[in-house]
Structure 1
Amino acid sequence: MAAAVGRICGARLFKNYGVATTQLLSTLGVVGGGVGALLFALEQSVQASGNEAHPPHQPWSHDGWFKSFDHASVRRGYEVYKQVCKACHSLQYIAYRNLVNCTHTEEEAKAEAAEVMVKDGPDEEGNYFERPGKLSDYFPSPYPNENAARAANNGAYPPDLSYIVLARKGGEDYIFSLLTGYHDAPAGVVLREGQNYNPYFAGGAISMAQVLFNEAAEYTDGTPATASQLAKDVATFLRWTSEPELDQRRLMTIKAIGMFTFLLAISYYIKRHKFITLKTRKLAFKPSK
């Protein structure tokens, strides 16, 4: 970009604007080129070391502008999170009310919330107390603080999963591949105590052990709980937690497209109707004698 601006200035296309304007445009070109280089470097840094395997794309049911979540899969993914992932990972930005009319009925969501005890208060005497959870409560963290989480996981801090799909390059493809990609470390790769090898994780060495096996969780709808099915459902669930409003936004997009298409057709008809006399009239000049 800077070179292009330099050639334009060298061609003296802006000679009428003076030296100050030429210098300003050159400066803008240099700044624009620097910003572009910075953005490219940041994009490359997202890929971390660059030696991890790239997750293949999976045929997700919600993959597309006009497709919605498979809510049965989202519910099964919640069951996987509850039975397997909840022991280490939090969902601190998701409330139990988000489950209503998506994965659970209101009564079922209230029952899910009531299973946890929430610290509340102070009461009239200034004391804190515990009460059953309500729909307005957020999913509790399995640990009281970060230090406790690291102490329980050999120094590793389990990340919050609320926005993990949007925070990782590859999205739900990465989550699925990571959960199903554990195997023995190849020759030459040295792992520290407590680490496992996963080619989809940056560097290959991951502190989280493989947690999804056949029958590692139980589905209430009777779906066979294979390892790949568990990974698929929990990846779909985590995609939903990243954007719980995705279905509503896509539905609004469909409505907006339909509405604006109708308005465009009406506008075109009115334009043709009102301006047809102006566009087809003939003007004749008759000079006065």
Structure 2
Amino acid sequence: MIRLVGILVGLGFTFVVLLSFVMGAYNAATEPAEETAEHAFHLDPKHVEFEHDGLFPAWDVAQLQRGYQVYKEVCSACHSLNQVAFRNLEELGYSEEQVKAEAASWTVPGINPDTGEASSRPGLPTDDFPSPYANNVAAAAANNNAIPPDLSLLTKARHHGPAYVYSLLTGYQEPSAELAERFPDSLPGTGLHHNPYFANLNLAMAPPLTADGQVTYADGTDATIDQMAKDVAAFLTWTAEPALIDRIKLGWMVMGFLLFATILAWLAKKQVWADMKPKRKD
């Protein structure tokens, strides 16, 4: 009797679980999802074109150098670039002497050889770009409790990375009246800034590009906010994947070889089977 009751209880429990699952699946499939501010007001990245886009891309070296200048003079105050070494700047057209001078213009963490204590020193070409903060605690304390991300691989970590960076830098604006009316809880709080290209619409980073001419380009290019945003987005594309152009070129070479090999194999097949005639059926 006890065994029978246990079986019935188990069957009842199984039935309730199965019924709950079926009802939940039915409700999820038939009831519309509750609209959120992020879903209603988040914007896809703007359309922007770069030299490294398309089937036959190339690096715009002048643009990459301008982008590095924007990073150095604007972004490096908060964001690290710890996957890139100063010596990598030679790939942007800088000479060895220029790279040494550029590295020496940065201050990197070091060790005092006499005392063994932490100190700082001018950078060397073999050093990585330093973080502006000693640790994450210091970074959070200086940025409204938000830790600025490292920018080395940012464009690979975001969908449509270069366009996302460009859109974010040029997308700061006041919240719309419709957002304030429909989702008042989504308005930026203290220390936050509204940007519809950011995932949750508000971020702790203040607009880094605030005025035209914020950077004086060495090549004389007019440094508008739009231009600076494009240049630094291109530069961060290079930091994330410096071998991008070589990889695409290699891909085309492989495709060409495969096409040639296919044609050669087809011609060989025709040659080998040229004298073979199908047997006639009497």
Please tell me the TM-score bracket, short chain as reference: 0.7 to 0.9
Residue 216 to residue 264, structure 1, CA distance change in 2 (3 Å):
same
Residue 147 of structure 2: which of 142, 148, 157 is its match?
157
Partner residue, 1:85: 75
- Per-residue deviation at 1:127? 5.8
| Superposed counterparts of 1:154-233, under 5 Å | 154-187=144-177, 188=180, 189=184, 190-212=187-209, 213-233=211-231
Deviations 1:175-207 (A, max 9, x none): 111111112222325322221111111222221
- Per-residue deviation at 1:87? 0.3
1: CA distance, partners of 2:205 / 2:42? 16
Q: Secondary structure at the match of 1:101?
A: helix
| Superposed counterparts of 1:10-49, under 5 Å | 49=38
2: CA distance, partners of 1:146 / 1:108? 32
| Superposed counterparts of 1:1-289, under 5 Å | 49-50=38-39, 51-120=41-110, 123=113, 130-187=120-177, 188=180, 189=184, 190-212=187-209, 213-278=211-276, 280=277, 283=279
Q: Secondary structure at the match of 1:178?
A: helix
2: CA distance, partners of 1:147 / 1:114? 27
Contact kept in structure 2, 1:98 and 1:244, CA below 8 Å = no
2: CA distance, partners of 1:168 / 1:134? 31
- Per-residue deviation at 1:130? 4.4
1: CA distance, partners of 2:260 / 2:126? 40
Deviations 1:225-262 (A, max 9, x none): 00100001011111111111101111211222233333
1: CA distance, partners of 2:266 / 2:131? 57
Contact kept in structure 1, 2:38 and 2:199, CA below 8 Å = yes
TM-score (norm 2): 0.76
- Per-residue deviation at 1:125? 7.6
Query: Unpaired runs of 5+ in structure 1?
Result: 1-47
Query: How many residues are treated as equivalent by the alignment?
Result: 238
- Per-residue deviation at 1:128? 5.6
1: CA distance, partners of 2:199 / 2:190? 18
TM-score (norm 1): 0.74
2:202 partner letter: A
- Per-residue deviation at 1:103? 4.1
1: CA distance, partners of 2:49 / 2:207? 23
Contact kept in structure 2, 1:66 and 1:254, CA below 8 Å = no
Query: Unpaired runs of 5+ in structure 2?
Result: 1-36
2:254 partner letter: A
Contact kept in structure 2, 1:74 and 1:103, CA below 8 Å = no
2: CA distance, partners of 1:242 / 1:55? 19
2: CA distance, partners of 1:154 / 1:285? 88
**Of 151-160 and 258-267, the range deviating more from structure 2:** 258-267
2:144 partner letter: N
